[in-house]
Structure 1
Amino acid sequence: MTTHDPVISCRNVWKVFGPQSDQLAAKLTPSTTPEALRATGHIAAVRNVSLDVRRGEMLVVMGLSGSGKSTLIRCLARLLDVTAGAVVVEGRDIGTLSEGELLALRREKMGMVFQSFGLLPHRTALENVAFPLEMRGQDRSSRLARAKDMLALVGLKGREGYFPKELSGGQQQRVGIARSLAVEPDIWFLDEPFSALDPLIRREMQDEFLRLKEMLAKTIVFITHDFDEALRLADRIAIMKDGAVEQIDTPERIVLSPATPYVAKFTEAIDRTRVIRAGVLATPVAGRAVEGEALPAAETLHILARRILADDRSLIPLSEQGRITGLLDRGAALDLLLGPST
């Protein structure tokens, strides 16, 4: 369940590469431009980023190659030290942690999955999943039992004794996901974990991931350059360009109200009806009479299209968990489904 309690807070974070970049902190302001930094031989991979990731939320960070999304996730896990600003995880500024404290935080709280599967070729799937537990010092019997459970969770029951070369790309990625889950992380970082997979396997892995998200209620930061993937997975989306966050909002809000021309370009080819849920268009009941069958507020307009077209009510009640939550303006829904009437 998502709450408003932030697990990760990112405040005015910069990551600059170049000569003596660690001495730039005091000179970096919101008005510092990429061009000004390039003139001094520096590249700003992350520029003045502030965001929160809420408990139980999946935040998808997306952008084109070079937008800074992978650098940002490495800053959140302190795989890279920030040049300026702060990353706070569960109330602790991770930039102030000692090496031992940081290692403990990663071992006890964080799971990570990256584009490269990073499996140990001489170890079986079971042994690969158990490896982080071995590094933690857990006894062999309990770590193998845990690894077996995780492989079953990602649909690889019966493949425990296979070596990586005996598994398909999708199966190898599932092993990587199972390994990251073995330590029972509260926070899960995933950097384009499905990008190397063919479209059919990628869709299958997205389905699997949504199932795991529902079951495990992790706080997740997921990186992708695929907008369709972002729309399918995200509670909120952050769109990056040249190291900065252009907009962070729900998928519906980003599609309906892009904040910048760059975000609008990202969304122009998207079928809005497949993204926008009926509840987003709801207006309060406000004492008006509610009659007849209600439509589910959580379904998209695309799924409800036939029922909306067949309904002659100008205001259609919407329900969620058995109670009326608002009224859908049929005219506004039809404008999105069919285009504005002329």
Structure 2
Amino acid sequence: MSATLEAEHLYKVFGRRPDEALRRLEDGADREELRAEGTTAAVIDASFTVDPGQIFVVMGLSGSGKSTLLRMLNGLLEPTAGHVRFDGQDLTALSDRDLRAVRARKISMVFQHFALFPHRSVVENAAYGLAVQGVPRAERERRAGEALALCGLAGWEKSWPDELSGGMQQRVGLARALATDADLLLMDESFSALDPLIRRDMQDQLLQLQQSLKKTIVFITHDLNEAMRLGDRIAVMRDGRIVQTGTAQDILVRPADDYVASFTKDVDRSRVLTASAVMDTDVRGDEADCGCARESECRTVTPDTPFTELCALSALLTHPVAVVDAERKLVGVVRQSRLVGFLGNEEVARA
């Protein structure tokens, strides 16, 4: 099982007198005030925990600080202040040599623009991280081949990168990260350069792989739909700060502020919401309270039933849909008016 990742009060300041800028930020100074003085506060007081086997998505617009934050997680950028802990180690306290060893064996990165070596074959590219570790050639080619097969590239091992489509090249980049068997994958806008259909295929591929591999993944994106499709939890960044952290449903139903709410306006709610978000919990703890004529007629769902299934079931009934827990106790009901409200009325959704 993958290890836990913790970021604790991370700051990254570029420019003159970063220590002074840090002090001012901690005292409440405005980011734009510092920028006018030639100092850029790229990340401000970022804290979060990524549990083992979780996909944690950091999303925000260009300039929000998300890529800078990612590079502090594996030590490519040294924090101005704060700590990064992974698998029991404080990465910010390691020597350069020890940090390189951690990056070689425990942390892999998948870049936006593939970063393949044009003069190396597909299998050589996939095996590159293992070569850095000093793994013997036969072993690294075997492990690289297994990773390529996981990513749907069996049979392409001897091909050259320019013989592959963009989506296939990105699969090689993903296979390279997987071949090292690293516990933590950092993915920086990894699918952003792909066409929409290929991008969705890569999202499917990642989700399928995660079901079996259970890696700890930090995924950077500017696309909220992608964030909500991939993320077990999502952190929304603005102007260097994390303004909200939660599940896709939390952010869609309970945005922290108007900035977060503006992102959710164009999201297809039916792909994100479940019964737990739309049910009325003011009910008694038995199935009969759903409003059907006889308890034997009661059609039930669980709190994690997708919104689309709820709509299909509700259309067949003249009474609300009952939501029950694992012990068949009634925990809520879903009314048709509530379903309609969540699709088209933000005030209903937030109520």
Q: TM-score by structure 1 length?
A: 0.91
The equivalent residue for 1:276 is: 273
Report the CA distance between 1:86 and its aligned residue. 1.8
Equivalent residue in structure 2 for 1:287, among 282, 285, 301: 285
Q: Which of 71-80 and 305-314 deviates more?
A: 305-314
CA distance in structure 1 between the partners assigned to 2:213 and 2:333 by the alignment: 33
Contact 1:294 1:324 in 2 (8 A): no
Corresponding position: 1:328 with 2:326 = no
Question: Aligned pairs, how many?
Answer: 336
Aligned pair partner of 1:48 in 45, 63, 87: 45
2:313 to 281, 291, 307: 307
- Counterpart residue number, 1:242: 239
Contact 1:30 1:48 in 2 (8 A): no
**CA distance, structure 2, for counterparts of residue 202 and residue 325 of structure 1:** 40
Work out whether residues 305 and 337 of structure 1, in 8 Å CA contact, stay in contact via their aligned partners in 2.
no
**Is 1:37 aligned with 2:54?**
no
> Of 95, 99, 103, which aligns to 2:100?
103
Q: Equivalences for 1:114-125 in 2 at 5 Å?
A: 114-125=111-122
Tell me which amino acid in the other structure corresponds to 1:132: G
- Which segments of 5 or more consecutive residues in structure 1 lack a partner in the other structure? none
**Secondary structure of the structure 1 residue equivalent to 2:186:** strand
- The separation in 2 between residues aligned to 1:335 and 1:29, in whole angstroms, is 42
| Per-residue deviation, 1:298 | 2.6
For 2:187 and 2:169, locate their aligned partners in 1 and report how far apart those are by CA, in whole Å.
15
> How many Å apart are 1:141 and its aligned residue?
1.3
| Greater shift in the superposed pair: 169-178 or 98-107 | 98-107
Listed one character per residue, the Cα deviations across residues 256-293 of structure 1 (whole Å, up to 9, x for unaligned) are: 11101100111112232221111334538753235433
Q: Percent identity?
A: 44
Q: What are the superposed Cα offsets for residues 1-29 of structure 1, whole Å, 9 maximum, x if unpaired?
A: 99xxx822222211111124256444440
- Cα-to-partner distance string for 1:58-94 (whole Å, 9 max, x where unaligned): 1111111111111110011111001122222233221
CA shift at 1:37, angstroms?
Answer: 1.3
Q: Which residue of the other structure, out of 146, 149, 166, is the alignment partner of 2:163?
A: 166
Letter in 2 for 1:100: R
Moved over 6 A (4+): none
Is contact 2:301-2:321 (8 Å) kept?
Answer: no
Classify the secondary structure of the residue corresponding to 2:315: helix
> What is the rounded CA distance, in whole Å, between the counterparts of 2:94 and 2:283 in structure 1?
51
Q: Do the aligned residues in 1 keep the contact of 2:284 with 2:330 (CA within 8 Å)?
A: no
Q: Report deviation, 1:319.
A: 5.6
CA 1:9–1:338 in structure 2 vs 1: closer, same or farther (change >3 Å)? Answer: closer
The question of 1:199 aligning with 2:171 is answered no
Q: Is the 8 A contact 1:130 1:182 kept in 2?
A: yes
When residues 181 and 30 of structure 1 are mapped into structure 2, their CA distance, relative to the original with a 3 A threshold, is: farther
